[in-house]
Structure 1
């Protein structure tokens, strides 16, 4: 139900951050009495409570939390936290737009946040092991978000995908994923992502990439896939499409010029790859997002 989502409750602070990047992260803790007004905003929100207690109003549903909680929020629904006064209240927020995710991950988002989703299933009380696993991902995301190194957008999208996969697994399988599913990034993979984030528009052979990092093509493919969940080829394609989406919305460059700028030599092939990721043509994407009222707010 969205009838209570009146404009005066729009969280413009969050909306403006999501206008600049498709995700927004915060980590907060308070030791004095804390109150939050009911609000709504673009996209979706993951609310993690690390310590504290109280209630969370999520649309028409009220969750009671006690620490080590995770709440899934459709940002268009009115929501607010009501912590117990006087206690330490530590939490993390991740706001994100589905456009930064692959179609496969967006299917999981629909299952987690969609209209068939029941509000009582939006609240996870995490055991110590689950909280530790998810917190490890949050720490990696926060480091990337705050350091803003080359390729941080792509890296956060990968980490967000893994986080959503973890949540989806907990929601629908009621089991603990394999212990090695969440781990630290191999330093070579971090370097490869940095390199590809700069050279994505160039023609890069797997052999040349492996030679650049002094490893075999087989080991590079295996390590990259295990760490990111994507092949090198798909990662490059996804990076190109992300760049194209920015140009389609925020510039007046012809689509043929965007195609060439991001490394595609054939406009038809570019359109095919773009549609595989976004479910529509570049022209349709530009038309749809140019009409979005959020793009008229300015920076």
Structure 2
């Protein structure tokens, strides 16, 4: 059987400093709305400075975390959901059209912020009540919110430039190199030589900017690519391990399980079950 549809929403106000120590990712989409205060938000190792009223949409499997900026006090609303939660209200084409956009940050105007907040408060209210047809109503409210966000994105979206000190720009370049060459043999010495910095300094600025060690990030990129191969091909696991840059099937299997909680074959089987269930529902 496919996994149960997932939906969660929470509103949290903090008055003490709070920073996530490490980036994380999950199998759900995320909507983050900052009600008050300021935050730094890392998305795939790009750093954005958020102000009250900003909204971020995070595609599933996107690396992200938030950290302090300015006054520690802030309040936010966070939604996590998967496709299975909204598909009963839509056909598959409509679902993918709503969710196709990769991560983006919106800075709505005053009128748009009021409309977004009204929808979020309706979702929070319905989530706190155990009324008949609760899931149907939450689903319809979420779809309304997603449509509104996509319309704003299509009509008024202006890319917000990530923060970029010289140190951060150097790390971004290293990340792009890793993303482009993940299937090749990558070592710390090779990277430090390619970017004309010492390995010690490279490790320091990479960890400060991303929350990852260099080795951890290389593994993340390779596992993310392996997940795509498992879903999109029928290649044997040995070939997937090789194409993703792992030098042994045992190492690949161990790292994959550590990062996903499943073996590569379990991951593929679950994806096929869920995909078959979605097709049967259309």
TM-score (norm 1): 0.48
Pairs within 5 Å for 1:40-189: 50=113, 54-56=118-120, 57-58=122-123, 61=126, 77-80=138-141, 184=164, 186-189=168-171
CA distance in 2: counterparts of 1:273 and 1:217, whole angstroms: 24
RMSD: 4.3
- 1:117-149: per-residue Cα shift (whole Å, max 9, x none)? xxxxxxxxxxxxxxxxxxxxxx98x658xxxxx
CA distance 1:62–1:210, change in 2 (3 Å): same
Matching residue of 1:251: 233
| Contact 2:207/2:214 (<8 A) preserved | yes
CA distance in 1: counterparts of 2:185 and 2:263, whole angstroms: 23
The Cα of 1:29 is off from its aligned counterpart by 5.2
The Cα of 1:205 is off from its aligned counterpart by 1.5
The Cα of 1:8 is off from its aligned counterpart by 5.0
If asked which structure has higher relative contact order (CA below 8 Å, sep 6+), I would say: 2
CA distance in 1: counterparts of 2:88 and 2:227, whole angstroms: 30
Q: Which sections of structure 1, spanning at least 5 residues, go unmatched?
A: 33-48, 64-73, 84-90, 94-138, 145-182
Residue 141 of structure 2 aligns to a residue in which SS? strand
CA distance 1:278–1:14, change in 2 (3 Å): farther
CA distance in 2: counterparts of 1:228 and 1:279, whole angstroms: 23
The Cα of 1:15 is off from its aligned counterpart by 3.0
Q: Which sections of structure 2, spanning at least 5 residues, go unmatched?
A: 6-84, 129-134, 151-157
Question: What count of residue pairs does the alignment treat as equivalent?
Answer: 178
CA distance 1:143–1:242, change in 2 (3 Å): farther
| Contact 2:89/2:140 (<8 A) preserved | no
The Cα of 1:27 is off from its aligned counterpart by 3.8
CA distance in 2: counterparts of 1:191 and 1:6, whole angstroms: 37
CA distance in 2: counterparts of 1:192 and 1:249, whole angstroms: 28
The Cα of 1:203 is off from its aligned counterpart by 1.3
Shifted more, 49-58 versus 205-214: the winner is 49-58
TM-score (norm 2): 0.51
Give the alignment partner of residue 287 of structure 1, picking from 264, 269, 272: 269
